[in-house]
Structure 1
Amino acid sequence: MTDTDQTTLRTELRIARGALKGLRDDLVTDAFAFRPLPPRSTDGVFLRRLPDRLRDSARWLPHTCLAAFACFLMMLGFVFESDRGGSALPAALLTGIPLFTVIFRPVGGWWLSLAAAFLTGAAAGEFSLWPWSATGFVSHLVVMAVVAKRTRPRVAAQMWLLTVALGSAFVFFMPYRASDTFAMALLSFVVLLTVVLAKGWRETQAKVVEQVAVTQVERSRRTVLEERTTIARELHDVVAHHMSVIAIQAEAAPYRVEDPPAELTRSFAIIRENAVAALSELRRVLGVVRADDPDSFADSAPEAPQPTLADLDPLLANVRETGADVEKVVTGAVRTLPQGVELSAYRIVQEGLSNALRHAPGAATRVEIGYVLGGLGLRVVNGPATGEVRPSHGAGHGVLGMRERVSMLGGEMTAEPTAEGGYEVTAFIPVAAEPRPDPNPEPAAPQAPPQRKPWPLAKSNGEPA
């Protein structure tokens, strides 16, 4: 024997040992372990419409159907064997016991069904089909289908091979008797193939649905992060303005005091240096969220001023140029709000108008802005579409961006369809009320002008000067 033949023989032996080991693990090891048939899911199209009590009972529908079918086959086998003058009760038990067992011990139920086929074949009459009786034939098919649905496709192939081997053994030793082995091999192959393909299709669909759900969640998270990045870029000018004011005031403060102490001047200088450093770091952080290069924004020109509610009229004019009917209503006393509130309010209205143009072309849109004591109210409502709605190629997460802006400012927002077929976006952004001056102040008593004194400073040892 050459080296090539020896290598081939060893490979074949290795494959055979692997197949026998897989057969032993699948059908022999813990064959009668308790693995009950799980209840049916109630998320189906028909079961979802049932009342709660019936829906809970419908979870056990597969168990009930298998038990009822086993009883039916047992009664049918009992009648057949009684008419033929055979032992009716043992035949009925051999038909039904495997079906009852497969509900709780699937592989063990299949072994019982195979043993029942062997016993009925050995005890079959000379002129009857064997090794399966009429009811045992159907019982064995159902048992194999249930086991194939609950196990791996490899187990289905192993069951089919052993079933065909049993029937072939009977045909080989008694070739002169009529056998239903070929019919069993053909029908069981079709049944098992159908079950395996249906199971694989359902598992694939479940994985697709799960992947779609995961993708949807990831897309939502990415959209939220992108919106937060946009908000950070837009609020950069607001924060930079305040930091610039701090730096300028810190630089000018020592000049407002005659002969300021050196410690005071040094303290304001440190404040100014920290403010300037904070501005530099702020612009660097903005560069990180803007581009891959952290220094890309370090030396670029300042951005244009961010829009406010005062810029809504040009925005509405641009929308009206597209042929849309847009109405603006302002209630309450118009006042200047914090820059972050003004910017977020503008973006919310802008996104609401964009959604109306995209999803409801030709619909009338109404923009309401309410200045109240506790904050700012916004409402963008449109009617049903009168034109052709074209499919949108966007991610469809504009509402998420609006919610992020509102939640950032501690407000509340709702976005839902209206009863007339349109869509409505409402938001409330709280704004702290500024203290109002007393309209009738009491005259203060005249006081002598305060004398300018040097600022009290602390000594190096911490004691007051």
Structure 2
Amino acid sequence: MTDGGAGIAERITPWALGAAVFLLSMASASGAVGVRSTLPEPVLVAVAAASAVAAVRARRSLGPLAAVGAVAYAWLVMWPAAVAASYYAGTHLRRRDLWLYAGGAVAVFALSALVSHRSNGYRALVAGTPANAILMSGAMLGLPLVAGLWVRARRQVLATMREQAEQLLREQVLRAEQARVQERARIAREMHDVVAHQVSLMVLHAGALEVSAPDERTAEAAALIGGVGREALGNLREVLGVLRSRDPVRGPQPTLADLDQLLDQTRALGIVVDRHDEGVARPLGPVVERTAYRVVQEALTNVHKHAADARTEVFVRYRPAELEILVRNQPSAGTSGDLPGSGWGLVGLRERVELVGGSLETGPQDGNGFQVMARIPVA
């Protein structure tokens, strides 16, 4: 049952019980399911109504229902309120209070048997003999009390099982988190030992070449390589910090405002890159701008690897409901196939774009170069 269904049942059940107690009380007083009473009907209706109201409020307070049930049974052999009180006693009372309730109920049934025995007619026959008195007390006191105790025991078992399941779930989540932290720490160590070391050597060699360069153009190229390497080391330190942290908080992330700097780095490596902005430029969400930046970055990386001398165009198109990024390059006169790649760049890029609800299209443009186009929703 859903939480909404359980809430409706919680509200309806007391009123349904009150209605059942009222109807059964009237039936008992009329002799249909009990001993017929000779009292005026308004008195019987008043007693039945009091029993119903007490039954509705029994979950909050058992006392009124127990008192009304005792009076109604001892006076009129009207049993519904007594049965309901015995059931609620089994589900709610602690052991000491339960024994007190059982003792009081036995006294009430004994008093009713005594009153019935001294009366004349049908009541004396039904409720006044010892055998019938014991049988009725067992049926109207014992059975509801046992049913209430069983329901309470079942609820306790279910609550214990639910608590154990929640504890197991918490422990499972904790173990998974610990394993995730350990794996991230292992990846961080591997990246530091392998990638950071190699990039550091590249920066050192670039610095040495810049100092001892035979001409100015070589010195500028070495300085550019050193700058790119130092930037890569900074980004790598940031990634390693994220991997080592239990609650990773990334530093400032690149946005479209940093796109020109990225293009300038590419131009410094000898690639002709043209940028074209279309539509009315406007501030976008940080996730949208960061995703767009990464699309351009990955596309330019592929140009470096596979078409280092190809002219490249970058289009930033501001649409009403989306941002479109298109990076396309002309055919290369010669490919630089000696730059290795993981093979997962475009796969990861597609996952990043789709994660924000966008789409990514990549492939040759009719045999005339290669293009990467991403559509990123801005709403």
Which interval holds the TM-score relative to the shorter structure?
Answer: 0.3 to 0.5
Instruction: Report which of the two has the higher share of helix.
Output: 2
Task: Compute the TM-score of the two structures, normalised by the length of structure 2.
Answer: 0.46
